[in-house]
Amino acid sequence: MMEPSRTMQPLKVLVVDDSLITVNKLKRMLTELGHRVVRTASTGMEALTAYAECHPDVVTMDITMPDMDGIEATKHILLAHPEAVIIMVTSHGQEPLVLEAMNAGCRGYVLKPFRAEKLCEVIDRVVERYLTPKAD
């Protein structure tokens, strides 16, 4: 049984990945961490629509997808919704791709294969930094 996430309240999560296996895995892990997967999308194009319709707190985003890749989708989502918090979940660990994703505006990066503990750590760090209101 996983420890619940340290974030104060359950997050609404949009999971974007063309792998049914990864979508299922993330759904299970996120639910066990106390969060709620409100939508899933299997292409970058679907992700744009899904984000606009459900306004999640956090997006997990794959890179390699048909139609539109995750880095491009990240740019488009942030253009329309600058407040979006996007975490890449991908098998791509090459430095130029990580840099490209960060420059596109993603807030965190999780490499496959991943464990729940790593996912939790990245989510907590991202939420603490980008979603938690700071005291004046």
Partner 1 sequence: MGQGRQMLAEIVDQVAKQTRDYLSAEMHISVREIGPVPAAGDRLRLHDLTAIVSLGGRLNLQVAFSFEGKLADALCAVMTADMDGAEQDWTLYRSETAAEIINTILGACATELWIPNDPPILLSPPVVLEQSSSILKTRKAIFYGSQLNTDFGTVYIYAVSPPGLFGTTEACVP
Asked if residue 1 binds partner 1 (CB under 8 A), the reply is: no
Of 5, 33, 36, residue with least CA distance to 15:
36
In the list 13, 30, 65, 127, the residue contacting partner 1 (rule: CB under 8 A) is: 65
Under a CB-based contact definition with an 8 Å cutoff, are residues 87 and 107 in contact?
yes
- Cα separation values, 110 from 25, 26, 57, 89, 93, Å: 14, 12, 17, 5, 9
Query: E strands of the chain, at which residues?
Result: 12-16, 36-41, 58-61, 86-90, 108-111
Asked if residue 15 binds partner 1 (CB under 8 A), the reply is: no
# of chain residues touching partner 1 (CB under 8 A):
27
Asked if residue 31 binds partner 1 (CB under 8 A), the reply is: no
Q: Rg (Cα) of the chain, in Å, rounded?
A: 14
In the list 14, 46, 90, 127, the residue contacting partner 1 (rule: CB under 8 A) is: 90
Asked if residue 4 binds partner 1 (CB under 8 A), the reply is: no
Asked if residue 79 binds partner 1 (CB under 8 A), the reply is: no
Asked if residue 64 binds partner 1 (CB under 8 A), the reply is: yes
Give the integer Cα–Cα distance in Å for 113 and 121.
15
In the list 9, 21, 82, 133, the residue contacting partner 1 (rule: CB under 8 A) is: 21
In the list 1, 95, 134, 135, the residue contacting partner 1 (rule: CB under 8 A) is: 95
Give the integer Cα–Cα distance in Å for 99 and 113.
20
**Binding footprint of partner 1 on the chain (CB under 8 A):** 18-22, 24-25, 28, 63-66, 69-72, 90-97, 100, 112-113
